[in-house]
Amino acid sequence: MHRSFDRQKLSLGAVVSLVLLAVLLVSECGMGDEKLPETVSQPTVVSTSAPILTIDGFRFKDLNGNGILDAYEDWRLPASERADDLLRLMTPDEKAAQMIHLTLATVRDTWFKDLGVGFALVYTYMADGPADAAAAANQIQEWCEASRLGIPAILSMDSVMGASWVRGATVFPDQIGLAATRDVDLVRRLAEMQREEMLAIGVRMSLSPIADLATEPRWGRFQECFGEDAVIVAEMVAAAVQGLQDGSVLGPSSVLACVKHFPGSGPQQNGKDGSPLVFDETSLPLHLSVFEAAIRAGTGSIMPYGYSKVPFLGGDAAERYAHESRVVMTDLLRNQMGFQGIIQTDWGMKHLDAALAGADVLGGAGQREVARLAEGIPAEDLDDRVRRILLAKFMMGLFENPYVDVDAEPEIVGAESHRALAFEAASKSLTLLKSEGVSALDGKRIVVAGTLAEDVDALSSGWKVAGHPCPSILDVLRQRAGADEVVYVGDDVAAIASLDTTDCVAVAVVGEKAGTHEPSWGYATLEFPEQQISIVRALRETGIPVITVVLMGRPYVMTELVELSDAVLVAYRPGVTSGAEAIAAALFGETPITGKLPFQIPRSMEQVLAQREDLPGDIEDPLYDAGAGLIMDRFGGVTN
């Protein structure tokens, strides 16, 4: 539907009214009281249907079309006053609609023009590329502006590694790889880059960063965490929040951060996603400390986990999922921890229950929920929920200008400087666990094994649209060495024995395919499939050096693999945009290798079963401890 929208209609310079001066008034702290500046400056005002009012030389959008300047239309007023005025004008149904967070696969104009839905997860709706994404975002905001009160929507994305649901956007390493860099400033710069790309396509909310601690090795979402060290995780989460929001205070240049998954979904019982969360009086404060850091950093939103109960907290937390629990959201997050921002649920079904328990925005709710929410939520509570939503929208400048310049996005989304930053992040994440008798690949014939070598998708977790126009590891090795100097055997063990391996080196790529909640090997094992071990064993038997590259989303049992390999390079999920190039550059000796393991590597599944789900670093005598990693200026060189 959005492809029919005229891309030029909202190009800056061709819109109905545009004044480009200063920024909107914002509050002194994330969602708190505002202070007016000593001088008032005209913000950018862009309209497609609302009349423009000129008062005292300033321009305002007459969003309800009544010919007068209502308080909520007056950008000179603090966001709190504007929100109170708008609440006064809204019907219960209009208020309830602001709490709805749709998932867009398709779209209807009535959802925004007539119903007034407050949030929309773009998911695959913007997948076709940045230009279509920007035009689609503008179309939705145009429908919102044509509604009775002209309330803009917030478009969101499950963007844990960049604007990854738009083909051509820059996708950087998953958080577990960034943890290996130990570079908090890098995390901030990546978040700032992500903010630039999301602003360019009109997406103003990122369902990230992940604040969960990686304490349970079997959990499929381990790859989304910043590791197991609560101090480092807290620093990286805070840096990501402030990079996305452009500081601690929401403003016109902010992408609203949604930190997840409260109270910490890392300790899944037995590693199975959706199981009860395992805490005790020692471990709970550790997991909560990361969310405390996010709150101090000014995060505008926090998401409780939608698939797990929290028995340790008692009350309804033992019976309800975290995002439907009053104990979790109201008692703990709101009252005890003092969070005043938006509580955004995970995607679930019991939306009224979640709202009554304390949630403000309801993930996955649809248009049919509006009447139920309007009737089922007490009026005072409804106003409380919606006021927080409106505050964020006023502070982010959406009432004045929710639109984007469709002509500007090609210079921003997927820019060369952004790709270079993704390459830097992937390069710094690479972790060398073993290097014996190997040298850089330049000038050598290369035998490439393992089907993951040609699997671009496996370079990132599953939180992305398929089909990003990026090279695989095999593609890049062929480009660098020359197609005639690379022999690809895939998973064909028999073919290896018949190879002419004179002057060859082998690169085996192993690990799991891309996934999200459910890892491809299942949660019950971290052992490599026999097919992958057989490939490395067969390469070993040829007598040529064997370099094993591990695409690692969680800590695998690597004991036999390490014994069979001359070198082991852990690449984590290095990102589809530049991950393959980073791996090749390291192996060709062009970039240093500096990554350090952000978790322990077990020797056996028995060690995994003996450790606790909720505590970091409790594997006794691991194969590799957290912090392991050989530092080399050049692959195959001298260890620093």
Helix (H) or strand (E) segment spanning residue 52: strand 52-55
pLDDT at 13 over 80: no
pLDDT at 469: 94
Confidence category of residue 28, pLDDT binned at 50, 70, 90: very low
Do both 579 and 457 map to the same domain?
A: yes
The rounded percent of the chain whose pLDDT value lies above 90 is: 92
Average pLDDT of the residues in 232-258: 98
Same domain, yes or no, for 375 and 435? Answer: no
Task: Give yes or no for residue 24 having a pLDDT over 50.
Answer: no
To 10 degrees, the CA torsion angle through 358, 364, 367, 372? -30
220: phi > 0 → left, psi -120 to 50 → alpha, else beta; which? alpha
Residue 239 lies in a domain: no
Nearest to 442 by CA among 637, 638, 592, 590: 590
pLDDT tens column, 487-496 = 999 999 999 9
- Map residue 259 onto helix, strand or coil: strand
Please report whether residue 444 resides in a domain: yes
The reply to whether 71 falls in a domain is: yes
Is the Cα torsion angle 522, 528, 534, 536 positive or negative in sign? positive
pTM of the model: 0.94
Task: Judge if 15 and 117 occupy the same domain.
Answer: yes
Answer whether the bond into residue 263 is a cis peptide, omega within 30°.
Answer: yes
In the predicted model, is pLDDT for residue 415 greater than 80? Answer: yes
Q: Within this chain, do residues 381 and 495 fall inside the same structural domain, yes or no?
A: no
Q: Stretch 309-323: mean pLDDT, rounded? A: 98
Quick one: 389 and 489 in the same domain?
Answer: no
| Residues 512 and 565 placed together within one structural domain of the fold | yes
Alpha-carbon span 384 to 388, nearest angstrom: 7
pLDDT of residue 477 exceeding 60: yes
Residue 569 in any domain: the answer is: yes
In the predicted structure, residue 186 carries a pLDDT above the cut 80: yes
pLDDT top residue among 407 and 83 = 83
Q: Is the pLDDT of residue 562 over 70?
A: yes
* Stronger pLDDT, 232 or 638, i.e. the higher one: 232
Confidence of residue 622 (pLDDT cuts 50, 70, 90): very high
Residues 389 and 514 in one domain: no
pLDDT at 586: 98
On whether both 499 and 380 belong to a single domain, the answer is no
Summarize pLDDT for 367-391 with one digit per residue, the tens. Answer: 999 999 999 999 999 999 999 999 9
Let me know if residue 253 belongs to a domain. no
553-560 average pLDDT score: 98
Same domain, 390 and 471: no
Which range marks the domain in which residue 50 is found? Answer: 1-157+365-398
Query: Does a structural domain hold residue 432?
Result: yes
- pLDDT tens track for 497-553: 999 999 999 999 999 999 999 999 999 999 999 999 999 999 999 999 999 999 999
Average pLDDT over residues 327-335: 98
Is residue 447 located within the same domain as residue 595?
A: yes
| Mean pLDDT to the nearest integer, 625-633 | 98
Confidence check: pLDDT of 579 > 70: yes
Residue 140 resides in a domain: yes
CATH code for the domain of 452: 3.40.50.1700
Omega cis (within 30) before 261: yes
- Residue 39: pLDDT band (50, 70, 90) is confident
Mean confidence (pLDDT) of the chain: 94
Q: Does any domain span residue 626?
A: no
Number of domains in the chain: 2
Over 70: is that where the pLDDT of 29 sits? no
Average pLDDT over residues 347-368: 97
pLDDT above 60: residue 338: yes
Q: pLDDT (tens digit, 9 = 90+) per residue, 218-241?
A: 999 999 999 999 999 999 999 999
Q: Are 390 and 420 part of one and the same domain?
A: no
Claim to verify: residue 388 and residue 465 sit in the same structural domain: no
Do 134 and 201 touch, CB atoms closer than 8 A?
yes
